[in-house]
Amino acid sequence: MAIRVLISLFILASIFTMMVSGQIGGDARSLRSTPAFGAATIEIRGQVVSSDNDLHFGDLIAELCDTGDMNRIADRTSVSGSGEFVFAFVREGMYKVRIALRNGVIVGEQIVNSPGVVRLEIRNPHQSNTLAGSAISLAELKHKVPGKALKEAKEANKALRKRDIPDLIEHLEKAVALDPEFIAARRNLANAFFSTKQYDRAIDAYRELVILDAHSEIGYLGLSAAYMSAYRVEEAEPIARKAVELDPSNELAHYLLGCSLVAQHKNNAEALSHLNKSFRSFPASQLIAARILAQDGHKEEAKSRVQAYLESGDGYARSEAEELLKTLEY
């Protein structure tokens, strides 16, 4: 049975644009082409630092708590190995961001309001009631955007509200030309190219983004996804590996790496290992894993993977899953 990755390539565009967003000027908007298109959102970003050399950032969790009930967690995300974290598609308002160890111990927290700039101090978890480290921001947050570039970004927001993507792209290109270090505009420009299936232009834009911000997971994830969508799978693999290196807990990074290996008919065991780490966010990866298992002669396990997909509630590739299950019955 030939292994196919048509499922993964087909859904990359919709899934990836749902998982990444950018902040343009002072009024952030999502670029995803869903019913929520144009809804007012912000992106909350930050970075963890500590003077404790034994503290591994990858062991931390960032939690977003509601302003109405500061003990209710509205969202949770992993902190990358470089200490970076992002909450995307957050409604405008006031929140509390908490940084916690995986055992639940809170090591830092900060109230944050729109537009979502997080500045906090991280407590050394091995020294109770002692503050360590210093308040810092990402390079993006430190950079002051010139007024003319910011004006173009605001015009891009207006275009997005009108769903005028060509005009959105035009204003973002002007913003980047005026300020080459305007990371948020670069990110949104790359996302706009990606969401409109201009993959070659998206690749160029994401390349520029990772050159400007070498520690940004979003840039590497976007670049790998764009390579995959352009069927340049050999180039997608090393970029996905970089994303996994930056954040070993990122399911999209593992999904992209697994898919790139499958598309090259390369190292089934490693591909399965990465796909196994992406099922929660990407149920359709169960089907890709099922095809690998069937090819390797593990028919019953392949059937169980297909059944797991069907029971996940995801309907995106349901007809293909049912067809695959019928094939495996013989």
pLDDT tens, 145-180?
888 998 998 898 788 778 788 998 999 999 999 999
Question: pTM higher than 0.85, yes or no?
Answer: no
Q: What is the pLDDT of residue 51?
A: 64
Q: What is the pLDDT of residue 72?
A: 72
Residue 21 binned pLDDT confidence (cut-offs 50, 70, 90): very low
Question: Is residue 305 predicted with pLDDT exceeding 50?
Answer: yes
Q: What is the pLDDT of residue 198?
A: 93
Q: What is the pLDDT of residue 116?
A: 52
Question: Is residue 29 predicted with pLDDT exceeding 50?
Answer: no
* Three-state secondary-structure class, residue 296: coil
Question: Is residue 277 predicted with pLDDT exceeding 70?
Answer: yes
Question: Is residue 101 predicted with pLDDT exceeding 60?
Answer: yes
How far is residue 318's CA from residue 324's CA, in Å, rounded to a whole number? Answer: 10
Mean pLDDT score, 275-285: 86
How far is residue 133's CA from residue 306's CA, in Å, rounded to a whole number? Answer: 48
DSSP percent split of the chain into helix, strand, coil, nearest 5: 50, 15, 35
* Three-state secondary-structure class, residue 74: strand
The residue ranking higher by pLDDT, 25 or 79, is 79
Question: Is residue 290 predicted with pLDDT exceeding 70?
Answer: yes
The residue ranking higher by pLDDT, 137 or 68, is 68
**Could you read off the pLDDT of 177-218 as tens digits, one per residue?**
999 988 888 888 998 898 888 999 999 999 999 998 887 778
Q: What is the pLDDT of residue 80?
A: 80
Give me the percent of the chain exceeding a pLDDT of 70: 73
Q: What type of residue sits at position 80?
A: S
Residue 22 binned pLDDT confidence (cut-offs 50, 70, 90): very low
How far is residue 124's CA from residue 116's CA, in Å, rounded to a whole number? Answer: 24
Identify the structural domains of the chain with CATH numbers, from first to last.
Answer: 6-22+145-282 (1.25.40.10), 42-140 (2.60.40.10)
Instruction: Report yes or no: 40 and 89 within 8 Å, Cβ to Cβ.
Output: no
The residue ranking higher by pLDDT, 106 or 319, is 319
Give me the percent of the chain exceeding a pLDDT of 90: 25
How far is residue 177's CA from residue 216's CA, in Å, rounded to a whole number? Answer: 21
Phi, psi angle pair for 245, to nearest 5°: -65, -40
**Tokens 């537009």, located at residue:** 115
Instruction: Report yes or no: 135 and 120 within 8 Å, Cβ to Cβ.
Output: yes
Question: Is residue 244 predicted with pLDDT exceeding 50?
Answer: yes
Mean pLDDT score, 262-266: 90
Q: What is the pLDDT of residue 118?
A: 60
**Could you read off the pLDDT of 47-74 as tens digits, one per residue?**
777 766 666 777 788 888 875 555 577 7
The residue ranking higher by pLDDT, 5 or 177, is 177
Instruction: Report yes or no: 328 and 291 within 8 Å, Cβ to Cβ.
Output: no
Residue 141 binned pLDDT confidence (cut-offs 50, 70, 90): low
Residue 239 binned pLDDT confidence (cut-offs 50, 70, 90): very high
Contacts of range 317-321, beta carbons closer than 8 Å, 24 or more positions apart: 317/7, 317/11, 317/284, 317/287, 320/7, 320/287, 321/287
Residues 6+ apart with CB under 8 A from 53: none
The mean of the pLDDT values for the chain is 75
How far is residue 188's CA from residue 23's CA, in Å, rounded to a whole number? Answer: 7
Residue 39 binned pLDDT confidence (cut-offs 50, 70, 90): very low
- Please, which residues bridge with residue 29 across strands? 40
- Please, which residues bridge with residue 98 across strands? 63, 109
Residue 182 Ramachandran class (φ > 0 left, ψ -120 to 50 alpha, else beta): beta
Mean pLDDT score, 100-121: 66
